[in-house]
Amino acid sequence: MSFSIEFADETQEYQARIKVIGCGGSGGNAVNTMINLGLEGVEFIVVNTDVQALNVNAAATKLNIGSNVTRGLGAGADPERGRKAAMEDAQRIKELIAGADMVFVTAGMGGGTGTGAAPVIAQIAREEGALTVGVVTKP
């Protein structure tokens, strides 16, 4: 008795979905620098409480957070306002992160939005199952 087994070619190319989220002014500047340097293969997102800063950012995806908390005018160097702003829009942040395999959260730890919102964004990314890395600067 003899038989043969044929296998379909199951080789698939899989590219990880990587998202870089710039949080606050410093994080937005970092994203702009990466875009200007021509970094490819990642999705760039900027999140800020300051609408004017979002308007001049080169990222394709922009999210103004905490409009009830800050009215689009920034967190005023108050990390608690930044945290509340991120919590206010946690569902929208979750939707932006959905499907990511890896998320880099970049922010400065000297102002309100980056300092307060970056930990909230990182926690949401972890809860969504993404490998999450924080890249922060300290003044």
Q: What are 99-131's pLDDT values in tens digits?
A: 999 999 999 999 999 999 999 999 999 999 999
Give the pLDDT confidence score for residue 14 in this predicted structure. 79
pTM of the model: 0.90
In angstroms, the CA 77 to CA 58 distance is 23
* pLDDT score for 89: 98
Q: What is the pLDDT of residue 78?
A: 98
What whole-number distance in Å separates Cα of residue 91 and Cα of residue 3?
Answer: 55
Q: At residue 134, what is the residue type? A: G
Q: Looking at residue 6, what is its pLDDT?
A: 64
Across the chain, the runs of DSSP E, i.e. the strands, are: 18-23, 42-48, 61-64, 102-108, 131-137
φ, ψ of residue 136 to 5 degrees: the values are -125, 155
Give the CA distances from residue 28 to residues 11, 49, 113, in Å, rounded to whole numbers and listed in that order.
38, 11, 11
Residue 26, φ and ψ in degrees, nearest 5:
-65, -45
**What's domain 18-137's architecture?**
3-Layer(aba) Sandwich (3.40)
Task: Tell me what pLDDT residue 45 has.
Answer: 99
Q: What are phi and psi of 69, to 5 degrees?
A: -85, -40
Q: Which residues of the chain have pLDDT under 70?
A: 1-12
Q: What is the spatial distance between Cα 113 and Cα 52, in angstroms, rounded to a whole number?
A: 14
